[in-house]
Structure 1
Amino acid sequence: MTKPAPAPADLRDRARRVRLACFDVDGTLTDGRLLYDSAGAESKAFHVHDGQGLVLLRRAGIEVALVTARTSPVVERRATELGVRACSGIGDKLACVEGLAQGLGLELSQVAFMGDDLPDLKVMRRVGLSACPADAHPWLARETAWHAPRPGGRGAARAFCDMLLEAQECVDALIGELLAERPPALGAQA
């Protein structure tokens, strides 16, 4: 059964309530490819714009979590770099997100989840706002409230972060804060 897309005003209202934004990793924050070197070590490519979006959400007071079924030191490292929560090796993403929300004193209506394929559908049906990259699997996409204009790993998460920040009217304040800060040390990145 396909849910009808929310009206723009309803979507904005749902985005305004978000206090926890959760993101699948493979196919959402990455392009979905799994890369292994000859020793079997995994690597992933993350887009710096997506990372900046997650950092901006945190600055605006929105908690951020990476929720992935794969156990990955690479995801743990990226989460640490960005100052966000990492939940890897998760068999039941809905239970994980429910636990995160409960720990923060939030209702699921205050949670957003961005995913790209069927393992994300259960949690996306329960949260207040679901989102997907432009290249999400069509079975998931047809039930998702907000569709990014960009594919996974190539700015989809940043577009979603920007939409949340605009709905919560945080953009001008964030830009003002960033302009008032001293530049980061060389080598610092999002």
Structure 2
Amino acid sequence: MPHATPAYPDELVARAAKTRLVGFDVDGTLTDGRLWFDEDGRESKAFQVLDGQGLVQLRRAGIAVAFITARNSLVAANRARELGAEPHVDCKDKLACLAGIAARMELSMDEVAFMGDDLPDLDVLRGVGFAVAPANVHHWLRGEVHWVTPSRGGEGAARELCDLILHAQGRVDALLDGRRR
């Protein structure tokens, strides 16, 4: 049975087809942006399981994933490690961080995607080949990205990006066939 895939513009498919590394801001993209602290100051966040499964499938397809956040968040680092992504917390220069990962992997920035939602992400969004934002992106950044996902951060936006990349690289049928066995 054929799978249902949204119709994507050719430009998005072309950018996604080249992607070998995907960086994600955390708060507002992989979460809904709210920060929760208990009375002892311990932080917690809610992550969408659908997003996590998308990140796992990217990694299985050979695409590297990194979490890049300006906050020093043990919660974000733990979630990244759980999913096999590189955790980069307390990173004030997100573009330099992502460019360093790309250089280590011998990738051009044209082969890198990033999902961000607010001003701390602006430089990195401008510096990658595929700039993406969730539906809740701050309005100042809408004109700076190639695609705004239909879903909000923490509500499936990251999965939509993962699915687009997997579709553009022709990997969806293999994923589904592997599940049918």
Give me the TM-score of the superposition, normalised by structure 2. 0.93
Q: Which amino acid aligns with 1:123?
A: V
1:10, distance to aligned residue in structure 2 (A): 2.3
Which one is further off, 35-44 or 76-85?
76-85
Give 3-state SS (helix, strand or coil) of 1:121's partner.
helix
The number of aligned residues is 174
In the alignment, which residue of structure 2 is the partner of 1:161?
162
Q: Deviations over 1:58-109 (max 9, x none)?
A: 0111100010000111011111111111100001000000000001010000
Give % identity.
55
Residue 176 (1) aligns with residue 164 (2): no
Q: Which amino acid aligns with 1:10?
A: E
Aligned positions of 1:11-160 closer than 5 A? 11-160=12-161
1:179, distance to aligned residue in structure 2 (A): 3.3
Q: For 2:161 and 2:48, how far apart are their aligned partners in 1?
A: 14
1:8, distance to aligned residue in structure 2 (A): 2.4
In the alignment, which residue of structure 2 is the partner of 1:4?
none
Contact 1:60–1:174 (CA under 8 A) maintained in structure 2: no
Q: For 2:84 and 2:101, how far apart are their aligned partners in 1?
A: 16
Q: For 1:9 and 1:152, how far apart are their aligned partners in 2?
A: 24
Give 3-state SS (helix, strand or coil) of 2:136's partner.
coil
In the alignment, which residue of structure 1 is the partner of 2:3?
none
Contact 1:12–1:167 (CA under 8 A) maintained in structure 2: yes
Q: Which amino acid aligns with 1:40?
A: G
1:142, distance to aligned residue in structure 2 (A): 1.9
Q: Which amino acid aligns with 2:45?
A: K
Q: For 2:55 and 2:106, how far apart are their aligned partners in 1?
A: 21
Which one is further off, 136-145 or 87-96?
136-145
1:12, distance to aligned residue in structure 2 (A): 1.4
1:55, distance to aligned residue in structure 2 (A): 0.4
Q: Which amino acid aligns with 1:124?
A: L
Give 3-state SS (helix, strand or coil) of 2:67's partner.
strand
Q: For 1:101 and 1:170, how far apart are their aligned partners in 2?
A: 22
Q: Which amino acid aligns with 2:95?
A: L
Please give the root-mean-square deviation of Cα atoms over the aligned residues, in Å.
1.1
1:175, distance to aligned residue in structure 2 (A): 1.5
Give me the TM-score of the superposition, normalised by structure 1. 0.89
Contact 1:51–1:158 (CA under 8 A) maintained in structure 2: yes
1:174, distance to aligned residue in structure 2 (A): 1.2
Q: For 2:92 and 2:136, how far apart are their aligned partners in 1?
A: 23
1:177, distance to aligned residue in structure 2 (A): 2.1
Give 3-state SS (helix, strand or coil) of 2:144's partner.
coil
Q: Which amino acid aligns with 1:119?
A: P
